[in-house]
Chain A
Amino acid sequence: MNHTIPALRKTYGDNPSFILEAPEQSISGAGYTCIIGENGSGKSTYGETLAELSSHNSDEKWYYLPQHLDRFLFAENVSEQLSALLSQEINQTRLVSLIEELGFSDPEGMLHFPFLLMSGGERRRMALVCVFYLEPARLILDEPEIGVTTKENMVLLSKLHNLAGTNARVIIISHNAEFVRQSSDIICLINGKIARAGRTEELISDPNFELEKYGVRFSQ
């Protein structure tokens, strides 16, 4: 089940003090991997760079759901979004089932309900519906818990476990302690460098390892 994340490097012209420089990383692959770090440590850069690097190889491609959904939700509603992404008819029964799983009370009504009339949290959950419908073999979710209630985050966690259980490779960028605790592997970033990495159970049981140091929020 072990797999590797390739070495990643990224610099920004206006920020010479920051360099993402992460060596190849071995992952147990038993579940999903969590990337943690304080604000500005390079978590999103890590995810974006991995997605960019893999974008030319369809077999190795990582699908990246960004924090800012304006970069992702381009259509008027979920049906149009998926039709455009897949260039084919969508399976409405399957889509309705996913919408219901993600906590919408009128799933059929949401098929054509405009993103424009949705709240921030509803749009995020609908973006996740799209991602789960697409079932990518490699998936990066950048802070998927933002704006979503605790109850719905528990549903999301369950979906992530299911997806990881189907041999999909899943990376979550998160500050949420529950997302971190339930992961199989953790990569900790400080200023663009991997400060610690390994199996979650081993890291958490290490008395010298402090999740707080990496910006994780315990009170949700």
Chain B
Amino acid sequence: MPCHIQVKNLALSYRWKIFQKTIFQDLNLCIPSGSFVTIIGGNGSGKSSLVKLILGLVEPESGEVLLNDIIVRPGYPEAIKTNRIAYLTQQIEDLFFSETVAEEMSYQRDDVVVPNMEEILHTLGLDTLWSRSVESLSGGERQSLALAQFMMQDAPLLILDEPSSYLDQTKASILKAFLEKAHQSGKTILHVTQFVSELKWGTHVIDLDQSNVSLATL
């Protein structure tokens, strides 16, 4: 399988005043097309940083990331704008800009037809929240809203950063079924999680707590 994502000699540190935190020193990975990769690791091991490097949201100190053999440039990801990546961030607190749920959902791209939109809204319980202000939603309801927007995109690469942390059992099952279906249809999936039980959803794992980080087959 060709690499959908290739990480080459990547190094990353964060700095603030006199403080420095080294995340990666010489990271190399090949994530095959069509694989379902689960990224695990302790707090601060670099799970979200790896995702942001792949998206170009963070600039590495050295090394590079290639998406389908094209170098990822830092900045707002071109691949998201052109619908080649669907990204669900961990930061659901400041993800929304609209006043109501209805307004937030109206930002879906006009040129993308979502055949099962009503079904997605109903299964996530959003059809009953239509007139609610986003500000008043609970953490779980916000994550459901973010998940609905994510599920309505049709990108070949799906990247999810701790997508189920606020979800109850029912909604976590909906997420699992969605990812299974996406994987069966050939999409590449990168899934960051804290839940050990979600490891078995995927085909590969990257454990960032290991001294030599690599892609392992499950």
Contacts and interface: CB of A to CB of B under 8 A. Distances in A.
Interface in B127-160: 128-129, 131-133, 136-141, 143-144
B167 interface: yes
A47 to B, nearest CB: 11
Contacts of B197: 219-220
B187 to A, nearest CB: 23
Contacts, number: 108
A81 interface: no
A76 B94 CA distance: 20
B90 A120 contact: yes
A215 B164 CA distance: 13
A14 B131 contact: yes
A117 B21 contact: yes
B125 A147 contact: no
Interface in A115-146: 116-122, 125, 143, 146
Interface string B167-197: 1111110000000000000000000001111
Given A39-B140, A148-B43, A120 B162 contact: yes
B19 A143 contact: no
A165 B172 CA distance: 34
B169 A113 contact: no
Nearest to A113: B19
A149 B19 contact: no
A67 interface: yes
Contact of A218 (B21, B132, B169, B171): B169
A218 B42 CA distance: 21
A152 B21 CA distance: 21
Contacts of B33: none
Given A39-B125, A39-B138, A143-B166, A14 B132 contact: yes
Given A39-B125, A117-B21, A215-B170, A147 B194 contact: yes
B169 A175 contact: yes
A67 B139 contact: yes
B44 A119 contact: yes
A44 B138 contact: yes
A121 B138 contact: no
A117 B138 contact: no
Contact of A146 (B45, B47, B131, B166): B166
Interface string B184-218: 00000000001111100000000000000000000
A147 B167 contact: no
B93 A70 contact: yes
A117 B195 CA distance: 23
The 5 closest A-B pairs by CB, nearest first: A39-B140, A215-B168, A121-B43, A219-B197, A119-B44
Given A120-B162, A148-B194, 19 more contacts: A12-B136, A14-B100, A14-B132, A15-B132, A39-B140, A40-B125, A67-B139, A67-B166, A68-B139, A114-B17, A118-B44, A119-B43, A122-B44, A147-B90, A151-B42, A212-B169, A215-B168, A220-B195, A220-B196
Interface of A: 12, 14-15, 17, 38-40, 43-45, 67-68, 70, 103, 113-114, 116-122, 125, 143, 146-152, 175, 212, 215-220
26 contacts: A17-B128, A39-B143, A39-B144, A39-B168, A39-B171, A40-B125, A40-B129, A40-B137, A40-B141, A43-B138, A44-B139, A68-B139, A70-B94, A114-B16, A116-B16, A120-B43, A122-B43, A125-B43, A143-B166, A146-B139, A147-B43, A175-B168, A212-B169, A217-B168, A217-B172, A219-B198
